[in-house]
Structure 1
C-alpha cells in the first residue's frame, strides 16, 4: 500500500508557493525589497529550517562562517554574497528570494535600457 501521494501539487504558504521544497514569494514582495542585501536577509528570515544556524549554512555550502555573518548583516558596508554561491545557499535555505530579486533587477534594467534607446531614436 502506497501511503504517499506521488503527485505533488503546490501548497500555499505565507502568500507564496512551495514547489520542490523551495519557497517562491510573490512579485509584490520582491518589488518592495530595497536591494540585494535586503533580498539576502529576507531569504535568511524565510529559511525552511528555523533551527539552521549560519555556521551550519557555511559548512554545508563550503563558505567561511565569518563571511556568512556578513552576507546577512544589516550593515551595508559588509561583504555581499558572491553570485557563484547563490544557488547553493538558496538550496539550503529552501527559498528562491535572492534569485527572484536578481531576475527582477535584470528585467527592470533591460526595460530601462530599451526605453532609453527609444528616446534616443
Structure 2
C-alpha cells in the first residue's frame, strides 16, 4: 500500500480517526503500521522519535516499519508488538492500527460500544 498522506477525521482529545473506506484497502499489519507513521501529526517524524515516545527498541523499529516482509536471509521481519499500539497511536496521532485490527475481526465500533454497555449493565 502506498504511504501517502490521508485526510483524517480529527478529534478534540485523542488520536484522529481514519475513514473506514481507507482501512478496508490495507492488506497487512506491516502496511497499516507504516501508513500510520506516514500520516503522523508530526510531519517527518523519525524512527528515533517514535522510539523515544513509545519505548520501542530502535533496532526492532527498523523491522516494524520496513517495506520488506523478509530480511536478507529470507527470515520474516518483526511486527510491532501489540503492547506498543496505545503509545504508538498517541505518538503518531491516529488510530490506523486499532481500526485495522478491529476490522480484521469484523467488529464495528458501535458493536464494541454495545458489548461494553451490556457488560457493565
Per the normalisation by structure 2, the TM-score is 0.73
Report whether the alignment pairs 1:66 with 2:65.
no
Tell me what 1:112 maps to.
none
Tell me what 2:111 maps to.
none
Greater alpha carbon shift after TM alignment, 52-61 vs 24-33? 52-61
Higher strand share: 1
Aligned length: 95
Q: Distance in 2 between matches of 1:71 and 1:49?
A: 19
Q: Over residues 11-57 of structure 1, what are the superposed CA-to-partner deviations in whole Å (9 max), with x where a residue is unaligned?
A: xx81x310125221111100000111111011011000014210111
Q: Over residues 34-91 of structure 1, what are the superposed CA-to-partner deviations in whole Å (9 max), with x where a residue is unaligned?
A: 1111110110110000142101111221111111111111111310000111111110
Q: Over residues 76-116 of structure 1, what are the superposed CA-to-partner deviations in whole Å (9 max), with x where a residue is unaligned?
A: 131000011111111001000000000000117xxxxxxxx
Q: Unaligned regions of 5+ residues in structure 1, if any?
A: 1-12, 109-121
Tell me what 2:79 maps to.
80
Structure with the greater alpha carbon radius of gyration: 1
Q: Distance in 1 between matches of 2:14 and 2:82?
A: 21
Over 3 Å off, 4+ runs: none
Q: How much is the aligned-residue C-alpha RMSD, in angstroms?
A: 1.5
Q: Distance in 2 between matches of 1:52 and 1:23?
A: 16
Q: Distance in 1 between matches of 2:16 and 2:27?
A: 20
Report whether the alignment pairs 1:99 with 2:91.
no
Q: Unaligned regions of 5+ residues in structure 2, if any?
A: 1-5, 71-76, 108-121
Tell me what 2:9 maps to.
17
